[in-house]
Structure 1
Amino acid sequence: MIRAFHRWPGLIALALVTVLALSGAVLAVFSVTERIAAPQAGAELSVATLAERIQTVYPGLEQIRRAPSGRITAYWFESGQPGAAVIDPMTGRGVASADPYGFQRWLTNLHRSLFLGDPGRVASALGAVAMLVLSVSGAMLVARRVGGWRNWFSRLRGPLAGRLHVEIARVAVIGLIFSSVTSLWMTASTFALIPDGGPSLGVPTEVSGQTGASIPDLGLLGTTPVSELRSLSFPYDGDATDVFTLKTDRGTGYLDQGTGTVLAWADLTAWQRVSETIYTLHTGQGAALLGAVLGLMALGVPAMGLTGVSIWLVGRRGRPRVRANQSAGRAETILLVGSESGSTWGFATTLHAALRAAGQSVHIAPMSSFAPERYARADRIIVLAATYGDGAEPSSAKGFLTKLEAHSDALDIPIAVLGFGDRSFPAYCAYAQTVADTVDAKRWPVLLPYDTIDRQSPQAFARWGQALGAVLGIALDLQHQPTPPVTTELTLQSRRDYGADVQAPTSILRFSLPRATFWQRLTGTGFTRFAAGDLIGILPEGAPTPRFYSLASSRRDGFLEIVVRKHPGGLCSSQLTALEPGERVRAFIRRNPAFRPDRSHTPLILIGAGTGIGPLVGFVRENEQRRPIHLFFGIRDPQSDFLYAQEIGGWKDEGRLSRLVTSVSRGQRPRYVQDAMRADGPELVRLVQSGARIMVCGGRDMAAGVADALHDILAASGLSAAKLKTEGRYVEDIF
Structure 2
Amino acid sequence: MVLSLWRYSHLVLAISSALFLIIASITGIILAFEPISNSIQPYVVNNLHEISLGETIQTLKNEYDEVLEFEVTPSDFVIASVITKDGESQTGYIDPITGKILGEVKERAPIFSFTTNLHRSLFLKSIGRFFIGLVSLLLCLIAVTGLLVLAQRQGGFLKLYTKVQERNFNQRYHVILGRWLLYPILILAITGVYLSAEKFSLLPESDLQHHWDVDGTENKPSLDLIDFPIFKQTSLNEVRKITFPFSEDTEDYYEVALLDKELFIHQYNGAVVSELTYPFVRVASQLSFRLHTGQGSVLWSLVLLVASMSILFFIYSGIAMTLKRSKKSKSEKPIVSQGKDASEYILLVGSETGNTYTFARAVHRSLVQQGKTVFMSSLNEYSTYKKATHLLIFTATYGDGDAPTNARNFEKLVAKITPITPLKFAVVGFGSSIYPKYCRFAIRVDALLHKNPMYQPVMPLHKIDDQSEDSFQHWVHDWNTHTEMSLQASIRQNKKKLHSFTVVEKTDLNKDDTFILQLKSAKRVPFQSGDLVAITPENETKARQYSVAKIDKKIVLSVKKHDQGKCSSYMSTLELGNKISGTLEKNTKFHFPKHARSIICIANGTGIAPFLGMIEENTKQIPMHIFWGGRTEESFAMYEKFMRRALSRKRIKSYKNAYSREGNQQYVQDVLATKRALIAEVLTTGGAIMICGSLAMQYQVLELLEQVSNEELKRPLIYFEKNQQLFMDCY
Mark the CA change 1:634 to 1:483 in structure 2 (over 3 Å): closer, same or farther. closer
**Contact (CA 8 Å) 1:55, 1:61: kept in 2 or not?**
yes
Which residue of the other structure, out of 555, 563, 572, is the alignment partner of 1:568?
A: 563
Q: Look up the match of 1:628.
A: 623
Q: Find the counterpart in structure 2 of residue 696 from structure 1.
A: 691
Equivalent of 1:72, from 69, 78, 84?
78
Contact 2:152 2:400 in 1 (8 A): no
Choose from 93, 109, 120 the match for 1:86: 93
Cα gap change, 1:679/1:107 in structure 2, threshold over 3 Å: closer, same or farther?
A: same
CA distance in 2, matches of 1:645, 1:58: 90
Distance change (3 Å), C-alpha of 1:661 and 1:309: farther
Deviation at 1:441, TM superposition (A): 4.3
Q: Does 1:3 align with 2:7?
A: yes
1:674 alignment partner in structure 2: 667
Greater displacement, 431-440 / 626-635? 431-440
Query: d(CA) in 2 for partners of 1:57 and 1:600?
Result: 62
Residue 143 of structure 1, aligned match among 134, 138, 151: 151
Structure 1 match to 2:281: 271
Q: Deviations over 1:586-624 (max 9, x none)?
A: 42526573x567787464332223321123334444445
Counterpart position of 2:605: 610
Counterpart in 1 of 2:257? 247
Match 1:662 to one of 657, 661, 672: 657
The alpha-carbon distance between structure 1 residues 20 and 336, as it changes in their structure 2 partners (threshold 3 A), is: farther
Shift of 1:631: 0.7
Q: 1:46 aligns with which of 50, 53, 65?
A: 53
Q: Is the 8 A contact 2:36 2:301 kept in 1?
A: yes
Q: Which amino acid aligns with 1:674?
A: Y
In the TM superposition, what whole-angstrom CA distance separates every residue of 1:292-327 from its partner, at most 9, and x where no partner exists? 68448627826963994598289649936349789x
- How far apart are the structure 2 equivalents of 1:10 and 1:611? 50
Q: Distance in 2 between matches of 1:52 and 1:659?
A: 77
Counterparts of residues 217-256 of structure 1 (less than 5 Å): 225=234, 227=236, 228-233=238-243, 246-252=256-262
How far apart, in 2, do the equivalents of 1:196 and 1:383 lie?
Answer: 67
Contact 2:548 2:555 in 1 (8 A): yes
Q: In structure 2, how many angstroms separate the alpha carbons of the residues matched to 1:177 and 1:296?
A: 14
* Contact residue 500 and residue 521 of structure 2 kept, 8 A: yes
Encode CA deviations 1:9-48: one digit per residue, 9 max, x unaligned: 557737457536644654564576679942545756436x
Relative to structure 1, is the Cα distance of residues 409 and 486 closer, same or farther in structure 2, using a 3 angstrom cutoff? closer
1:376-415 residue pairs with structure 2 within 5 A? 393=396, 399-400=402-403, 411-413=415-417
Residue 551 of structure 1 is matched in structure 2 by 548
The equivalent position to 2:585 in structure 1, one of 581, 589, 595, is 589
Native 8 Å contact 2:362 2:489 kept in 1: yes
C-alpha contact 1:39 1:89 (8 A) present in aligned 2: no
Note closer, same or farther for the CA distance 1:567–1:165 as it changes in structure 2 (3 Å cut): same
* 1:635-657 deviation line (CA, Å, top 9, x unaligned): 56777864454444444345442
Opposite residue 93 of structure 1, the aligned amino acid is K
Q: Is the 8 A contact 1:198 1:272 kept in 2?
A: no
SS, match of residue 151 in structure 2: helix
Distance 1:58 1:116 in 2: 45
Find the residue that maps to 2:187 and give its secondary structure: helix
CA–CA distance in 2 between the matches of 1:627 and 1:97? 62
Deviation, 1:182, is 2.0
Which runs of 5 or more structure 1 residues have no equivalent in the other structure?
A: 365-369, 388-392, 423-428, 465-477, 516-526
Tell me the equivalent position of 1:183. Answer: 192
Question: What is the alpha-carbon distance in structure 2 between the residues aligned to residue 27 and residue 559 of structure 1?
Answer: 55
- CA deviation map 1:462-497 (0-9, x unaligned): xx9xxxxxxxxxxxxx99997722211112155432
Contact 2:629–2:659 under 8 Å retained in 1: yes
Distance 1:617 1:536 in 2: 16
Contact residue 65 and residue 87 of structure 2 kept, 8 A: no
Q: 1:336 — aligned with what?
A: 349
Superposed, which structure 2 residues align to 1:14-53 within 5 Å?
A: 15-16=22-23, 18-19=25-26, 22-23=29-30, 26=33, 29=36, 37-38=44-45, 40-41=47-48, 43=50, 45-46=52-53, 50=56, 53=59
Greater displacement, 687-696 / 158-167? 158-167
Question: TM-score, normalising length from structure 2?
Answer: 0.68
The offset of 1:64, in angstroms, is 1.8
Provide the C-alpha distance between the structure 2 equivalents of 1:316 and 1:281, rounded to a whole number of angstroms.
36
Please say if residues 500 and 640 of structure 1, whose CA atoms lie closer than 8 Å, have aligned partners that are also in contact.
no
Structure 2: how far apart are the matches of 1:43 and 1:294? 27
Q: Hey, what's the Cα distance between the residues in 2 that align with 1:276 and 1:602? A: 50
Among 685, 691, 704, the residue aligned to 2:676: 685
CA contact (8 A) 1:410 1:444 kept: no
Q: Secondary structure, in 3 states, of the residue corresponding to 2:194?
A: helix
Q: Report the secondary structure of 1:657's partner residue.
A: coil
Q: Which moved more, 1:15-24 or 1:308-317?
A: 308-317
Q: Report SS of the residue matched to 1:585.
A: strand
Structure 1 stretch 95-104 or stretch 497-506: which is displaced more? 95-104
User: Counterparts of 2:231 and 2:710 in 1: how far apart (Å)?
Assistant: 75
Q: How does 1:130-209 map to 2 (within 5 A)?
A: 130-159=138-167, 161=169, 164-200=173-209
CA positional deviation for 1:72: 0.6
Describe the shift of the 1:24–1:660 C-alpha distance in structure 2 as closer, same or farther (beyond 3 A).
Answer: farther
**Alpha-carbon shift at residue 633 of structure 1 (Å):** 2.5
CA distance in 2, matches of 1:604, 1:479: 40
Cα distance in 1, alignment partners of residues 232 and 709 from structure 2: 76
Tell me whether 1:438 sits opposite 2:434 in the alignment: no
Q: Give me the whole-angstrom Cα distance separating, in 2, the residues matched to 1:670 and 1:663.
A: 9
Is 2:67–2:81's contact at 8 Å kept on the other side of the alignment?
yes
Offset at 1:164?
4.9
Query: Helix, strand or coil for the counterpart of 1:19?
Result: helix
Following superposition, the deviation at residue 686 of structure 1 comes to: 0.8
How many aligned residue pairs are there? Answer: 662
Give aligned-pair identity as a percent: 19
Change over 3 Å in CA distance of 1:640–1:413 after alignment to 2: closer
> Which whole-Å CA distance do the structure 2 matches of 1:421 and 1:149 have between them?
25
Gaps of 5+ in 2: 431-437, 463-471
Is 1:128 the counterpart of 2:136 in the alignment?
yes
Deviation at 1:688?
2.6
Three-state SS of the structure 2 residue aligned to 1:321 is helix
- Cα distance, 1:498 vs structure 2: 2.3
Cα pair distance change 1:323/1:686, threshold 3 Å: closer
> 1:731, 1:699 → 2: CA distance?
14
Provide closer, same or farther for how the CA distance between residues 99 and 479 of structure 1 changes in structure 2, counting only shifts above 3 A. Answer: farther
Tell me how far apart the structure 2 counterparts of residues 406 and 363 of structure 1 sit (CA, whole Å).
12
RMSD in angstroms over aligned alpha carbons? 6.1
Question: By how many angstroms is 1:573 displaced?
Answer: 2.8
CA shift at 1:502, angstroms?
2.7
| SS of alignment partner, residue 484 of structure 1 | coil
**Residue equivalent to 1:486:** 495
Q: Can you list the C-alpha shifts for 1:194-249, whole angstroms capped at 9, x where unaligned?
A: 234242569x99999xx9x9x98998996784524312346899xxx999754233
Q: What secondary structure, in the 3-state scheme, does the structure 1 residue paired with 2:206 have?
A: coil
- The 3-state SS of whatever aligns with 2:183 is helix
Measure, in 2, the Cα distance between the counterparts of 1:613 and 1:53.
79
- Tell whether the 8 Å contact from 1:245 to 1:255 is kept in structure 2 after alignment: yes
Distance in 2 between the 1:319 and 1:178 partners? 35
